[in-house]
Structure 1
């Protein structure tokens, strides 16, 4: 199979978990004998070819007011103009056309469409090549891809989002198969009338993490940590406020990058005796030096790969009940669940794990086994390969219920705490 994998970004440009998974797919499918090419946006005009870990990469200059992978925040009017052009960016079709002409793929695996817009679907469809669309975010419902506004997750599309996505659901009829990285994201987008002609599949993201012994906490100081994008929808400011209100012998380290103005806001609110912003960190190294991971998302997080990575390393996780996170974290099994609708629930969860060492040890012991299905990257590649092969030959791959059953969260053993 010759596969063209289309996405918004690719290493070294990493904006979130989607880039990690897309790289896993590209390199994993290539290692299995598929001929994989990746097409992504880039900061330089024109089309530039390179090879990374044996995978051929095309970086296409973005035809818009600015390239979206930057720490500087554009002014509101310019951002609005960027999203208006991204409703249907005709000029990006020429990059898709050129790469298809060069590579002649059998199937196109579309991922995040930010920068490409749904014009990519039209260009691919014009060649007769089948399209498989992976849902990593809410781009098809919201230009900002988050459905988050004024400090909270949107319950429905606003007028502007509806206007900017007016013809998108109809255009999705060109897609032969759709894959959701969580049950939440698959149902959320499909529920707005998308992918009526497509076969539907649930394939949770997976990662690899070496086995390690459950955590043994000996000192009185408890170390909480957050790692990820620094942005309002990720709940970082909420986490800082809740933590600093606690009178406990603990520290909080926050790793990651964000827009420069938001980073400045966070730095202005932290008490340096309790909280440290440590910038970009390697996830494995960072998690070795904390006792509890916090994922305080205020928006509907599509999946939450960082929660899987933490559990795989026997870290208890405090997470919100937003989006796909409850498909990973279960209350009192591998972590504690809190809710943005109850702002103090985050502080109570942190305090509970501080006071109850037995609970921390229990969650640590259960953590890795609870996410075992998400640690099987070969299983994930099997599923993608099956869906791509079936789509290419006009057949159905694994049906959705099988995926749901295989990836159902592990129940807590009877009689355990």
Structure 2
């Protein structure tokens, strides 16, 4: 009989990176554990496919007997939280007497704004949650266009503090990067209970290699939101003196702003916004890419998209933001530049486009680096053994 594992996550379906990772790792873990899933909200995005790795799937609101009774009936050997900010779930897990752990996908639990930077400057916040959440952050003031005529609502610090305290009582935390381990320690978490398990994406079956064409194709892949820094990339491209064409593969609330910015800088004919594309439709873009640019400015917990393109021998150029430096090693897997330093990003892109021999070398180096350092099977085995050892904490 396989060990029984209860996973709890906010969303059900292919909503974003956290859901994609949860699905892919669950497909593999289902060979080693009996998996059960509780979720809070559906997404309507391929939910039937998303359910495949799990023996059972339950919506939290539909558990009529309550979470405590459900856990008592299921009798899992480990409770594995993913994205979750519901204090009732934390209490239920803690009160069960069963070892409970969490994969830390982001900053939601200990940051009132959730993205861990100051919104007016995008300067990363290096403070412990507390007084800095009021001054200078004013994190208790939240934008909500539906709240009132002012378009804002107030968030409770006492609720946030309670959530942090509940989270700190869990038996262990899994984080994706050294940066996230440091951040949790800053927030008062027990260093001995923090385990680094990079959220390495499962390799795609398709095989792609770039010809590094003279057309100098650049790619941006991901959500077009303010923290992902596409506007910084567009400004950097204004100073690039080599021919190029940027393909933006993604969608998000900052798209219209970035389209207007590209137009105002005279770059609209050199930047194509392609919208959200499934992985299979991205492949043709990789065949001619000189580099993928990762201009994220928020403190990235990891940034798994970088590993996906490096597997195909494509180097990455990006800002030194959060956990990015774990996989983007300057001169090894691409070019890493100071966070939000737009002139430095321009120079790095110019160098990538201007020296094809060096770009090919970086691509081959990146491919070897990711295969050795972020091998999916090795990290899967590490996580599996860790989960089994944590089950013994009961």
* Alignment TM-score, normalising by the size of structure 2: 0.81
Alignment match, 1:263: 255
- Post-superposition offset of 1:326: 0.6
Alignment match, 2:41: 42
Deviations 1:131-156 (A, max 9, x none): 01111111122133211222412232
Provide the C-alpha distance between the structure 1 equivalents of 2:101 and 2:110, rounded to a whole number of angstroms: 18
Indicate the larger mover: 35-44 or 330-339.
Answer: 35-44
Pairwise CA RMSD: 2.8
Alignment match, 1:238: 232
Q: Kindly indicate whether residue 214 of structure 2 is the aligned counterpart of residue 220 of structure 1.
A: yes
Deviations 1:350-374 (A, max 9, x none): 1111111121011011111111245
- Post-superposition offset of 1:185: 0.5
Does the 8 Å contact 2:78/2:99 carry over to 1? yes
Q: Kindly indicate whether residue 106 of structure 2 is the aligned counterpart of residue 137 of structure 1.
A: yes
Alignment match, 1:31: 31
Q: Of 194, 214, 222, which aligns to 1:200?
A: 194
Q: Kindly indicate whether residue 25 of structure 2 is the aligned counterpart of residue 5 of structure 1.
A: no
Other structure's SS at 1:175 match: coil
Alignment match, 1:274: 270
Q: Of 126, 135, 138, which aligns to 2:95?
A: 126
Q: Kindly indicate whether residue 125 of structure 2 is the aligned counterpart of residue 154 of structure 1.
A: yes
Alignment match, 2:177: 182
* Aligned pairs (5 A) from 1:1-400: 1-12=3-14, 14-16=15-17, 18-32=18-32, 34-43=33-42, 52-55=51-54, 56-60=56-60, 96-97=67-68, 99-101=70-72, 103-113=74-84, 116-148=85-117, 149-152=119-122, 153-156=124-127, 157=129, 158-159=133-134, 160-161=138-139, 163=157, 165-195=160-190, 199-207=193-201, 208-209=203-204, 212=207, 215-217=210-212, 219-259=213-253, 262-270=254-262, 271-283=267-279, 284-285=282-283, 286-373=285-372, 375-394=374-393
Indicate the larger mover: 130-139 or 237-246.
Answer: 237-246
Q: Which runs of 5+ in 2 are unaligned?
A: 141-156
Does the 8 Å contact 2:215/2:243 carry over to 1? yes
- Post-superposition offset of 1:22: 1.0
Deviations 1:60-108 (A, max 9, x none): 469xxxxxxxxxxxxxxxxxxxxxxxxxxxxx99864464355332211
- Post-superposition offset of 1:50: 9.3
Provide the C-alpha distance between the structure 2 equivalents of 1:147 and 1:362, rounded to a whole number of angstroms: 35
Provide the C-alpha distance between the structure 2 equivalents of 1:221 and 1:94, rounded to a whole number of angstroms: 61
Provide the C-alpha distance between the structure 2 equivalents of 1:389 and 1:367, rounded to a whole number of angstroms: 32
Other structure's SS at 1:364 match: helix
> How many pairs are equivalent?
354
- Post-superposition offset of 1:11: 2.4
Q: Kindly tell me: are residues 204 and 43 of structure 1, through their superposed partners in 2, closer, same or farther at Cα, counting changes over 3 Å?
A: closer
Other structure's SS at 1:53 match: coil
Does the 8 Å contact 1:141/1:165 carry over to 2? yes
Does the 8 Å contact 1:225/1:252 carry over to 2? yes
Provide the C-alpha distance between the structure 2 equivalents of 1:2 and 1:54, rounded to a whole number of angstroms: 13
Provide the C-alpha distance between the structure 2 equivalents of 1:365 and 1:49, rounded to a whole number of angstroms: 38
Provide the C-alpha distance between the structure 2 equivalents of 1:319 and 1:345, rounded to a whole number of angstroms: 10
Provide the C-alpha distance between the structure 1 equivalents of 2:251 and 2:69, rounded to a whole number of angstroms: 34
- Post-superposition offset of 1:254: 0.7
* Alignment TM-score, normalising by the size of structure 1: 0.77
Does the 8 Å contact 1:182/1:202 carry over to 2? yes
Alignment match, 1:406: none
Provide the C-alpha distance between the structure 2 equivalents of 1:54 and 1:342, rounded to a whole number of angstroms: 43
